[in-house]
Amino acid sequence: MVSFIGGESVSPEVDVEDATELSGVWSVVVLNDPVNLMSYVTMVLKRVIGMSQSEAETHMMEVHELGRSVVWTGEREKAEAYLYQLQEWHLTAILEKNEPSA
């Protein structure tokens, strides 16, 4: 929105940090739950993320033993798509923003 003050146009200040808040690298994290079988989690990771059998089993065991596994990392839009699909398959999954290393 542009305002006019004394015949001059004045644009509101834009916080650049807000504009880039959604950019950057995001991780899709699958969390452990007491409902899904290990074989089911493996199958879903293969179908949704496109992992090989051994990759999917490795991530499934990480979820089982550590309570979580980062199954994909990249741009926010694709991360949200994967998150939605994993949740549609009833896996507990979240997005996390990767903070740059200092």
Which whole-number Å values give the CA distances from 25 to 12, 31, 63, in the listed order?
29, 19, 21
How much is the pLDDT for 23?
Answer: 79
Residue 11 lies in a domain: no
Domain count, the chain: 1
Give the per-residue pLDDT at 4: 57
- Residue 16 reports pLDDT greater than 60: no
Is 52 contained in some domain?
A: yes
Residue 34 lies in a domain: yes
pLDDT tens, position by position, 43-83: 999 999 999 999 999 999 999 999 999 999 999 999 999 99
The pTM (predicted TM-score) of the whole model is: 0.77
CATH number of the domain enclosing 36: 3.30.1390.10
Give residue 31's domain range.
Answer: 23-97
Over range 74-99, report the average pLDDT.
Answer: 97
Cα–Cα distance for residue pair 102/95, rounded to 1 Å = 21
User: Is 67 within the bounds of a domain?
Assistant: yes
pLDDT recorded at residue 22: 67
DSSP strands (E only) in the chain: 3-5, 8-10, 26-31, 68-74, 92-97
Q: Quick one: which of 20, 21, 41 has its CA closest to 32? A: 41
Does some domain include residue 77? yes
